[in-house]
Structure 1
Amino acid sequence: MAKKDSYHEFLKHDFNKLFEGIKLGDVQRHFLRSRWLDQVLWMEAKANLSRNRHYFLRITTIVGGVILPALVSLNINTTLKVNNIETNTRLRDVIIWSTFGLSQVVAISAAIEEFFHYGERWRHYRRTVESLKTQGWQFSQLTGHYRNYTNHEQAFNLFAGQVEDIIQRDVEIYATQVVQEKKEEQQSQENYMVIPNTKITNLEEKKEEK
């Protein structure tokens, strides 16, 4: 937690120090801090959070998926060479419950990752925040899109427009993903409802034939 906070503070301090050396008006400086820097820090935090959750869930699913077959093979094996029958029974109970518990953990972690799409969110936030950083550095050095301007005040309108375009694309992509996820969820629910209805229809047809 301290490491994440220290990097967050480093970015904030580093960019504020960069702004101090740029000749801009008060309104323009307010935009830099309240719009551009605020979005950079927020998306950086969201990208790191999504990455950590994606890694945790994926590693849990992978490691659990590797261990499960070994537990299943031990569970199937009925010739455990243990002299004490009570110990044998107790050991089998431990294996059975361990297999059941681990299978639930693997299924839940995979379901959470599938539902929230942390991997996609991580890559989405990372692309957006890096685009914002690129615009900030190019603007500060008057390179890239701003190479034809002689000072930052002249280039500021273009910079503000680029920042707003990036944020707007981010909102549109996020909204599209949310709509797509809702459609997929609705489709899965409809498919779940169709299967029982099909079975009931088949039973009614068989009764009519009789």
Structure 2
Amino acid sequence: MAKKKDNYQEFLKQDFNQLFDSLKLGEVQKHFLRSRWLDQLLWMEGKANHSRDRYYFLRLTTIIGGVILPALISFNSGNVKVKEVIFWSTFGISQVVAMSAAIEEFFHYGERWRHYRRTSESLKTQAWQFSQLTGVYRNYTNHDEAFNVFAGQIEDIIQRDVEIYSTQVVQEKKEEQPELEDKNI
């Protein structure tokens, strides 16, 4: 699976580098496209994929374990060995389900995946609109004229990403504080 992701990221890198080379822009502008925009896009893509994989793994573990547990609990056998195997299997699976749910709740991989995916797609949208001079770039006759608006849009997306992520972390810390204070009483 890692190979497929690497191939897609390599494809994006090559595809956008080809696109950048075809645009009539200065070297500093092309450097921005590669160093800032493409670097951020590939980083976001990687984080989105990583978070999605973790989220799916943890959720599927919770779901499958949650389906298996009632069946094991309801299984009734007169054989002592079978009862012991069922007991320990039920115990083990319940622990795995609980840990899986707790890890997902703690790390919020589903939210992270959606956050990184949204930001990644916003970065791609800006690049495609810039390359075609559509959207906010439609009133410009060439890429050189539109570049400053594009760079501003990219920095706004990155800044929003940082603010949203930072706000979520601060909010989580604030929500944890009352719990800690309650326990100290």
Could you say which TM-score interval applies, normalised by the shorter chain?
over 0.9
What is the correspondence of 1:136-175 to structure 2 with a 5 Å cutoff? 136-175=127-166
Deviation track 1:79-99 (CA, whole Å, cap 9, x = no partner) reads x24xxxxxx222111111000
The aligned counterpart of 2:13 is 12
Quote how far apart the aligned CAs of 1:71 are: 1.2
Point out 4+ residue stretches in structure 1 off by more than 4 angstroms.
none
What is the correspondence of 1:103-182 to structure 2 with a 5 Å cutoff? 103-182=94-173
Q: Which amino acid aligns with 1:19?
A: F
Q: Please, which runs of 5 or more residues in structure 2 have no aligned partner?
A: none
Provide the rounded CA distance (Å) in 2 between the counterparts of 1:170 and 1:12. 21
Provide the rounded CA distance (Å) in 1 between the counterparts of 2:67 and 2:179. 28
Report the number of matched residues: 184
Q: Please, which runs of 5 or more residues in structure 1 have no aligned partner?
A: 82-87, 198-210
Provide the rounded CA distance (Å) in 2 between the counterparts of 1:15 and 1:5. 15
Provide the rounded CA distance (Å) in 2 between the counterparts of 1:174 and 1:45. 16
The aligned counterpart of 2:3 is 2
Quote how far apart the aligned CAs of 1:184 are: 2.3
CA RMSD of aligned residues (A): 1.2
What is the correspondence of 1:1-210 to structure 2 with a 5 Å cutoff? 1-74=2-75, 77=76, 80-81=77-78, 88-191=79-182, 193=183
DSSP 3-state at the match of 1:148: coil
Provide the rounded CA distance (Å) in 2 between the counterparts of 1:167 and 1:50. 18
- TM-score, normalization: structure 2? 0.96
Quote how far apart the aligned CAs of 1:73 are: 1.6
Provide the rounded CA distance (Å) in 1 between the counterparts of 2:167 and 2:176. 14
Quote how far apart the aligned CAs of 1:185 are: 2.5
Deviation track 1:146-198 (CA, whole Å, cap 9, x = no partner) reads 1111111111000000000000000000000101111222333334x16xx5x
Quote how far apart the aligned CAs of 1:70 are: 1.2
Deviation track 1:112-144 (CA, whole Å, cap 9, x = no partner) reads 000011111111111111011000001111111
Q: Which amino acid aligns with 1:17?
A: Q
- TM-score, normalization: structure 1? 0.84
